[in-house]
Amino acid sequence: MDNYLVDTHTHINYIEEKSPEEIVQNACKNGVKKLVVPAACAKDFDEVIKLCNNFENVYGYLGIHPEELNDWSDEIYEKIKNIVKENKKIVGIGEIGLDYYWDKSNIEKQKEIFIKQIKLANDLNLPINVHSREAFQDSLQILKENNKCSNVIMHCFSGSVEFAKECIKEGMYIALGGVVTFKNAIKAKEVAKIVPIDRLLLETDSPYMAPTPFRGKINQPAYLKFVAEEIAKLKQIPFDEVVENTTNNAKRILRI
């Protein structure tokens, strides 16, 4: 196909079964020509930077995931700022946010560090890649109160149609992945139908949540086309229209 796909969120450094070279080659063969790799913790930083430097079509986000709060420090804040100044392939702050699924004992600390990283993104004029799990309204409220200028990507969106509409009203982008292909993922399918095409991004979140027909197996960016195909079917629009628009959205937001 003439157009190409952008995987806006893939942890290829976590895919142990294949080499980075093989993963990137497989992606390109399947029309996925650009990949964005997020950091979740401080030890990911060097791996993300190495991938960005080694592959022309790989970009990165830097940030501290809400499950990795102990990694956060003033030194990390300064380290991210310095890396961004030196490496133009770091295109966003992420993945950051709130996660109440596993542990609700540290909610206030999660909020504090989320706000600090939002301000960091604003200072650097970079988009924000948001992880929000069972914390939808708190995430939205914090973004509304603290985000001054950064584009917001709601990564691996798992909220309701109503919450999606709230996010879109605030100018945010909705990123959908393999879950939308699952037969029983009614909520994700309804969200895919209502998100305007100019607010939609695609991702795999690999190695997690492989789309049908690979559900339960190790995910990789090469499988992104199955997400695009399902969204095209749900929206009743051509596959190429999904590809062209989601890629243009990614290029515009991430400046890649």
- DSSP letters for 159-185: S-HHHHHHHHHTT-EEEE-GGGGSTT-
Instruction: Give the containing element (helix H, strand E) for 78.
Output: helix 74-86
- What's the number of CA atoms in the CB half-sphere (13 Å) around residue 8? 37
CATH number at 100 reads 3.20.20.140
Q: How much is the pLDDT for 2?
A: 65
Q: How much is the pLDDT for 4?
A: 97
Cα–Cα dist 212/179, whole Å: 8
Q: How many domains does the chain have?
A: 1
Q: How much is the pLDDT for 103?
A: 84
Cα–Cα dist 179/155, whole Å: 12
Domain that includes residue 179, residue range: 5-254
Rounded alpha-carbon distances, angstroms, from residue 7 to 29, 42, 134, 144, 228: 14, 22, 24, 26, 11
Q: How much is the pLDDT for 102?
A: 85
Low-confidence ranges of the chain (pLDDT < 50): 1
Q: How much is the pLDDT for 18?
A: 96
The residue behind tokens 């100044």 is 85
User: Model-level pTM?
Assistant: 0.97
